[in-house]
Structure 1
Amino acid sequence: MADWQPGPGEGGGFRRRRRLRIRLREGSRLNRLPARSLLPNILTTLALCSGLTSIRFALEGKFELAVAAIMLAGLFDGMDGRVARLLKGTSRFGAELDSLSDFLSFGVAPVVLLYLWALQDFSGLGWIAAMSHAVCCALRLARFNVAIDDPDKPVWASNFFTGVPSPAGAGLVLLPVVLSFSLGDVPFRSPYLVSVVAIGVAFLMVSRLPTPSFKRIKIHRDWVLPTLVFVGIGTAVALSYPWQVLGAMILAYALTIPFGPWSYKRAERRAAERAAADVVVAEETPKV
């Protein structure tokens, strides 16, 4: 039996129905998102929920739990971008969601905690100090989103942030709170000290100061085992003395900030030297 062919009056309708079925199949495939693009957004949502939970704990006066929730948000925030790049699931939607989550978790939640902890009785100056951190965090995130699309940014510059990133800013501004948990409220609960720290960190976030990103740290094979031992011991110490270890980590990061411009200039100088060497090699290579 010969294959069926559309009759003279059926060809147009047959082709239209076939094109319609093809479009429906293609649309069905387009409406399905791979799981790898969903996992980073789940982590970002968990960070957002942690920031909201921190505000709840602060309103209830549970300041230790509030700080812990912000630190947990920082953990999720550090994971989502790396997971997205690993699974090749980056998207513009994920980037926008991450910025909104960062603003709430590291811009709003810390200042709500600080205001209720030490600044609410400091007249209007306490609110100004708290608000300056939130506003500068929003400006810093907006500048970061614009810089993502900069095609002229050199590769080596990705090892540095412009200004203090918002998660690190949250840790720095909460340093008086963390130190008070292990050393007592005096003098760390002073509204004058907290206000100076909040305003200082706010300016660091919107500054042009290059700070290390620690994203591309590579460990030599010979140091893998000692690193794992150090991580194991550090975890045990952190579980036994959480606030002391957290305070030491924040102070250690603060000490790296003054070395940021020096490291940036050195990386820039090395990149210029490599570019000049490549030009010399290209000029000396004989043309065939």
Structure 2
Amino acid sequence: MEKKKKLIGCYDYTVILTYIGLSISVIGMTQAIDGRFRTAILCLALSGLCDMFDGKIARSKKNRTEEEKLFGMQIDSLCDVICFGAYPAMICFLLGVRGLAGWFLICFYCICSVIRLGYFNVLETKRQQVEDGANKYYHGLPITSMAIVLPLIFMLQVFISNAAFIVVLHVSLFVVGLLFIVDFRLKKPNNMVLIFLVLIVAVAVVIVILFSNFRIPKMQFPDTGLLDCLRGIIGK
């Protein structure tokens, strides 16, 4: 008799890094809203680092059930929508991608992100029915690439004018979004290439942290926490 679960979903080590990456991105969103873009870019890079290795960790478990495999694939894509779809788009909006052109590009980027991930899930589900292991090629640019592209672009802000920087943000949203849905085969990087990419992003993040002073006026939100609200209720 199959043991009944008390909670839906999976909570073992095969998905924990995915959950950590999502949590880092959510924290990064709060930092971006508060105008702390250096921290937000760092969170995006860390989230990308988590995504880079979560699949390898998941595949290290040899006795995964089909349900666990499918859940892992779905939860990874759902988290990617937030971490590398909505999150970078929100950062770009806060940095100055505004107006009709900005709204169009942000929507275009997010739609392309969802299309790419949905298409990946369909292909991967079919592939896993006939073979095991990781796929050796991407179809189109992987969505995680924005965790590399945006820190590098934000680093440019140190060297170019703010106006030029915002133009580059507009262009990057269009180009990266388009590459998400263009069907070309891209060989997955080996460990040496991954290490190189991590080092490149690390250098960009360090430059951003040390030299960037890009800020927007802090948005005005109620500066009260849960305990303050509870005290107010009890006080009444």
The normalised TM-score by structure 1 is 0.59
1:116 to partner: Cα distance: 0.7
- Counterpart mapping for 1:28-177 below 5 A: 28=3, 31=5, 38-88=12-62, 89=64, 90-120=68-98, 123-151=99-127, 158-177=135-154
Determine if the alignment matches structure 1 residue 208 to structure 2 residue 208: no
Q: CA deviation at 1:184?
A: 4.5
Give how far 1:154 is off.
8.8
Q: Percent identity?
A: 24
SS in 1 for 2:2: helix
Q: Which has the higher contact order (CA 8 A, sep 6+)?
A: 2
Maintained 8 Å contact 1:114/1:174: no
Structure 1 residues 174 and 44, CA, compared in 2 at 3 Å: closer, same or farther? Answer: same
- The alpha-carbon distance between structure 1 residues 44 and 138, as it changes in their structure 2 partners (threshold 3 A), is same
CA distance in 2, matches of 1:240, 1:166: 19
Cα RMSD between the aligned structures? 3.5
Q: Residue deviations 1:140-175, cap 9 Å, x none?
A: 0000000002349899x9322011000113432453
Equivalence for 2:170: 195
Offset at residue 213 of structure 1 (A): 1.2
Structure with larger Rg: 1
Unaligned runs of 5+ in 1: 1-25, 220-227, 245-288
Structure 2 portions without partners, runs of 5+ = 209-236
How far does the alpha carbon of each residue in 1:114-144 deviate from its partner, in whole angstroms, 9 at most, with x for none?
1110213xx2111111121111011000000
Aligned length: 199
CA 93–153 in structure 1, closer or farther in 2 if over 3 Å, else same:
closer
CA distance, structure 2, for counterparts of residue 212 and residue 133 of structure 1: 23
Q: How far apart, CA to CA, are the structure 2 residues paired with 1:211 and 1:243?
A: 29
Deviating beyond 6 angstroms after TM superposition, the runs of 4 or more aligned structure 1 residues are 152-155
